[in-house]
Structure 1
Amino acid sequence: MDSGQFLVLLGFCGLVVLQAELLTGGQEDVRVLLQQLMARVDRLERDRGRSQVAFSASLTSTSQWTHQGPFENVSPLVFREVKTNIGNAYDPDTGVFTTPTNGLYYIRFTGSIGKSGSLNAAVLKNGENMFAIYNTVGRISSNANGMTLVLNEGDRVWVVLWPNQSISDKSGLSTFSGFLIFPM
């Protein structure tokens, strides 16, 4: 049931209770109930905009192979080619997704091996490793991984490339994506 259907059902239930209260003479109870219903509708409408969160970005959009790494240190990856950013929670300048609301999110990362011949990269939440991809098959091979994560408002999620590893992209093969499944 979507929020519009829920609001209609909520309004209908409220009218039934209101009619019953009027018939039994409980006008003060009706006023309190109506105020509670109006407050709930306001809260649902306000939260609806915050519950629409989705992003997807690739390292590049070019049809030419591009490579990043290998680097001596852990390096954050910045997926600059934004395809979707509903809720504007993904920052293409830093590569960081900052959660706008508490909820259950699905996060996914896909990477294509670069010039080093191996790819080892991880998705971090507030600096803690959540999941990774690893591939040593050789160039022009890719891996993907995803996970549902309970995230709180303000949590930060990003991708890092581990030392001495590389990643490549061509036409959006290496991507970082996520969306809110439901608010909590």
Structure 2
Amino acid sequence: MQAMKNNCKCQMIGTVQSGLADQGFTYVVFLALFPLFWSPVQSKNCCSNNKLMRSIKYQFNLMNPDECGGETSDRVKTAFSANLHKHLSKVTQHTKIIFGTVITNIGVNYDKTTGVFTSPRHGTFYFSWTMFTNPGGSCPTELVKNGNSVGLANHTWNEGSKWNHSSTQSGVLSLKKHDKIWIRMIVTGEGYCYSGIWTSFNGFEI
């Protein structure tokens, strides 16, 4: 009888182990607490005990933030920084500005092929962008959320000057999961928007 109980106990541990082995600390806690669950039910049959262990496994799964949508204190927050990869000339109204040279992309939520940042979760985010124009040029841009202006504009206008000119705008937005953010032209620009280190788009989760 004792051998059968031990065998049943091993089977139960194996069942839960397969579901918790990839949860690290959670599995260690389970092993430490297992005797507390086992002692009151030693007299029950294996079928009943297996049902109990499946219930315990379910409760431990609730501790896994990836499975229940929760958050942990050590969650990696998203951040990105990208530069304009080529000069822009007389860009037309509402054209999306694609910052194709990525410097930082923690979380890989910025797409350098489309110029779009996609929010990975509900949260608060900071964004900024800088445009740099040639003498006499203009590059009026705005921050866009899901196709609509959020009311933040950056008009780099250099009329009548013999020097290049840059300007920066920034803002803080509350986003939902899958919200999309990008920069676009307000109206058709004049002259050039220079690429490289002079023109950039940045954002991070607060």
User: Does TM, scored on the shorter chain, surpass 0.5?
Assistant: yes
Whether 2:154 is the aligned partner of 1:154: answer: no
Number of positions where the alignment pairs a residue of Structure 1 with one of Structure 2: 162
Gaps of 5+ in 1: 1-17, 28-33, 61-65
What TM-score do you get using the length of structure 1 for normalisation?
Answer: 0.68
Larger gyration radius, structure 1 or structure 2:
2
What TM-score do you get using the length of structure 2 for normalisation?
Answer: 0.61
Whether 2:64 is the aligned partner of 1:42: answer: yes
Match of 1:178 in 2: 203
CA contact (8 A) 1:123 1:159 kept: yes
Whether 2:188 is the aligned partner of 1:164: answer: yes
The Cα offsets for residues 58-110 of structure 1, whole Å up to 9 and x where unpaired, read as: 002xxxxx531313432110000000111111111100001111100001111
Q: One-letter code of the match for 2:64?
A: D
Runs of 4+ in 1 over 6 A off after TM superposition: 34-37
CA contact (8 A) 1:69 1:114 kept: no
1:135-146 equivalences in 2 (<5 Å):
135-138=156-159, 140-146=164-170
Whether 2:106 is the aligned partner of 1:95: answer: no
Shift of 1:162: 2.7
**Structure 1 SS opposite 2:64:** helix
Cα RMSD for the two superposed structures: 3.9
Whether 2:128 is the aligned partner of 1:104: answer: no
Gaps of 5+ in 2: 1-32, 41-55
Distance 1:129 1:120 in 2: 13
Of 69-78 and 111-120, more deviation after overlay is shown by: 111-120
Distance 1:143 1:37 in 2: 53
Identity %: 29
Q: One-letter code of the match for 2:127?
A: I
